[in-house]
Amino acid sequence: MRKLVRRVRSRSDYAWYLAAREWPLLVVALGALLGAVVVLPVAVGVVLALISLALGLITLTGDLRGLHRRWSEHEFTPASEPFPHAEIGAPVSYPAAVYSHLPGVGTALLSDEIDRAVRERRFAVRIAEQPYRPAPELRATAPHLPTLHSADRPLFNGPVVGLRSDPLPGSGDAEVRLHRTRYFDFQCSNELCGMRITDRESGAEFDLRRRLLTDTAGRLRGLDAGELADVVGVSTLAFTTDGLLLIVGDGDPSGSGSLEPRDLITADGSSRRDLAEVLVTGMERELREETGLTGGSVAGTELTGFARWMDRGAKPEFFGITLLSVASNNIPGSKLDFFDIDLATMSRELRAGTNVLEAPSLPQPLRESGSLPLLLAIRAAALR
């Protein structure tokens, strides 16, 4: 029953999202329906009502054909080739930034100096008054995206938070800008960069990664110059009192997901003004939701790093490490695993030039099935 409810909710979210885009068509359909209602019970004015109904149906048919033509002239399929990290330079404002490509997993843009700024510099947050909305041509791609209407993986158009400036190094306090958005808007902006778009008639392909993510010099845009939702990803690694790393599912961090508007608000309803506090709140919320742990089981969380996830439209990702106040044998859960990982040894391996996927100290199961957020979170924790 719960599965059915989730699927119905996902479908209703999708239908409402499309209706907001195609409301003129709905108005025409309503007019045709009202014409039919008038004709059936009333004899007077039948001819005029029939004419009105016919015109409405003709208009509706034309609009439906145009809508179908607009939706079907391009083919959208997941891109099979990796992000072209060797051809797109890092933003000039990112100090000593490098791409890390992990074969079979994904590509991220990393900067040790930005990691240090995230850990040590105070960033105040400013929330945009207007929520983010993708450009009309991006929003119109919703019917094409298989992830929006997949029966196997229902998605919901829930509220999330995006980032519109970069947490760069510097002296003194700084400010970052956030905006409210919704998950389907993220799908119609950042996630488009992971799609292969082909014109059905000409066979021409469109590379949105270059069109949406790069500037006129061919470099990756900073978040302050972005046009996408850039939803903030938050992931944390939780360690038990007996020193084991808690992993969720087949290879995800202990807590991983997206920043949400509720993370911006304190228990008494006031706004959080510090970026670190907002991020830690989101990480610990995701940790509790995915593991079933209570707030009393969390001793504390600290930030460890930052990355841009290139395969998902260069979205921002923040990482942390959480200390628990319980041992591994006191944490139930069939989908939870525990691993003994030596961060000190891994730190030496990483500093010697080994990437995290090839580090000898990385447990073999995580090497085989670890997600990109998990591997990047482990890297950030080892280098903190």
Report if residue 110 sits inside a domain: no
Q: What pLDDT is recorded for position 206? A: 78
Report if residue 306 sits inside a domain: yes
Specify whether 234 is located in the same domain as 220: no
Residue among 91, 81, 376, 102 at smallest CA distance from 253: 376
Q: What is the rounded CA–CA span in Å between residue 93 and residue 28?
A: 50
CA distance from start to end of the chain = 45
Specify whether 152 is located in the same domain as 236: no
Q: What pLDDT is recorded for position 254? A: 93
Last residue of a domain, one of 225, 256, 285: 225
Q: What is the rounded CA–CA span in Å between residue 230 and residue 181?
A: 9
Specify whether 260 is located in the same domain as 375: yes
Q: What pLDDT is recorded for position 52? A: 63
pTM (2 d.p.)? 0.85
DSSP string, 164-210: -S-----SS-EEEEEEEEEHHHHHTTGGGGGEEEEETTT--EE-HHH
Tell me the residue range of the domain where 134 lies.
Answer: 123-225
Q: What is the rounded CA–CA span in Å between residue 341 and residue 347?
A: 11
Report if residue 116 sits inside a domain: no
Specify whether 283 is located in the same domain as 349: yes
Specify whether 86 is located in the same domain as 160: no
Q: What pLDDT is recorded for position 60? A: 59
Q: What pLDDT is recorded for position 142? A: 78
Report if residue 204 sits inside a domain: yes
Q: What pLDDT is recorded for position 44? A: 47
Amino acid present at 315: K
Q: Is residue 311 a contact partner of residue 194, using CB atoms and an 8 Å limit?
A: yes
Specify whether 237 is located in the same domain as 343: yes
> 16 CB contacts (<8 Å, ≥6 apart)?
157
pLDDT tens per residue across all 384 residues of the chain: 767 777 777 878 877 776 666 656 565 566 656 665 555 555 545 655 666 667 666 765 665 565 555 556 778 888 888 899 999 999 999 999 999 999 999 999 999 999 999 999 999 999 999 999 998 878 877 777 767 766 667 788 999 999 999 999 999 999 999 999 999 999 989 998 888 888 777 878 777 888 899 999 999 999 999 999 999 999 999 999 999 999 998 789 999 999 999 999 999 999 999 999 999 999 999 999 999 998 899 999 999 999 999 999 999 999 999 999 999 999 988 789 999 999 999 999 999 999 999 999 999 999 999 999 999 999 999 998
CATH code (residue 301): 3.90.79.10
Number of domains in the chain: 3
Specify whether 236 is located in the same domain as 338: yes
Specify whether 195 is located in the same domain as 255: no
Specify whether 178 is located in the same domain as 295: no
Three-state secondary structure call for residue 90: coil
Report if residue 143 sits inside a domain: yes
Question: 10 Å Cβ neighbour count for 254?
Answer: 27
Specify whether 291 is located in the same domain as 178: no
